Chain A
Amino acid sequence: SQQGEEDPQALSIQEGENATMNCSYKTSINNLQWYRQNSGRGLVHLILIRSNEREKHSGRLRVTLDTSKKSSSLLITASRAADTASYFCATVYAGGTSYGKLTFGQGTILTVHP
């Protein structure tokens, strides 16, 4: 399986509900980042959590990181139709000479119905 696998692959919810997406990875990481991609647009950086952090908040976003399980979750609270997008986790490897390159998961397609 790939570094940075995500589940579910697709998630469909109603406006106002919470959306939770999960990400697993394989190697030791420096940090883990979440990105959003709206249809036809570029990737937008949402939030970064470092390997020594366990939880981080930004507005309606909450990210957790469990380095012992090599997993992370992204929670979007009180979702809106405008949150409809693809969400990707990406890790920055802790060792070697990766120079900060990102390793992405396959992404979760979130659809929020009005």
Chain B
Amino acid sequence: EAGVTQFPSHSVIEKGQTVTLRCDPISGHDNLYWYRRVMGKEIKFLLHFVKESKQDESGMPNNRFLAERTGGTYSTLKVQPAELEDSGVYFCASSLLSAGNYGYTFGSGTRLTVV
């Protein structure tokens, strides 16, 4: 079974530019989560999709972040325009069930550096 795939693995962009991160969950996993770890801070929840619907986007920092999951398969997270404080590692996770009773499978993350 293929795991959760994220790309790019690294991205370096200039402040003000746009970046799009992609996550391919495990096939059949309806639940897809985005998390972020900013340097020196804890890993924080961004949002949760169930199929193509946003179940919870309470962790999205501001309207410069836009997440989509068209067709309920892969998801994209766009940052536009990027700011320095957006630098960090963005993780995606997927699961069959949303209650978190069985643990999650995470991708390797995308390390975003905004300069």
Contacts and interface: CB of A to CB of B under 8 A. Distances in A.
Contacts of A100: 31, 48, 95, 97-101
Contacts of A101: 33, 45, 48, 56, 59, 100
A88 B100 contact: no
A102 B42 contact: no
B4 interface: yes
B86 to A, nearest CB: 19
B42 A44 contact: no
Contact of B91 (A43, A48, A50, A106): A43
Which range contains the number of B residues in contact with the other chain? Answer: 20 to 34
B42 A92 contact: no
A86 B91 CA distance: 15
B100 A106 contact: no
A105 B110 CA distance: 20
Contact of A42 (B41, B100, B106): B106
B109 A42 contact: yes
B42 A31 contact: no
B38 to A, nearest CB: 12
Contact of A99 (B6, B43, B55): B55
B108 interface: yes
Nearest to B40: A106
B34 to A, nearest CB: 10
Contacts of A72: none
Interface string A48-83: 101000000000000000000000000000000000
B45 A99 contact: no
Given A90-B43, A100-B100, 14 more contacts: A4-B42, A30-B100, A42-B6, A42-B106, A43-B43, A43-B104, A44-B106, A45-B106, A100-B48, A100-B101, A101-B45, A101-B100, A102-B43, A102-B45
Interface of A: 2, 4, 30-31, 33, 35, 40-45, 48, 50, 88, 90, 92, 97-107
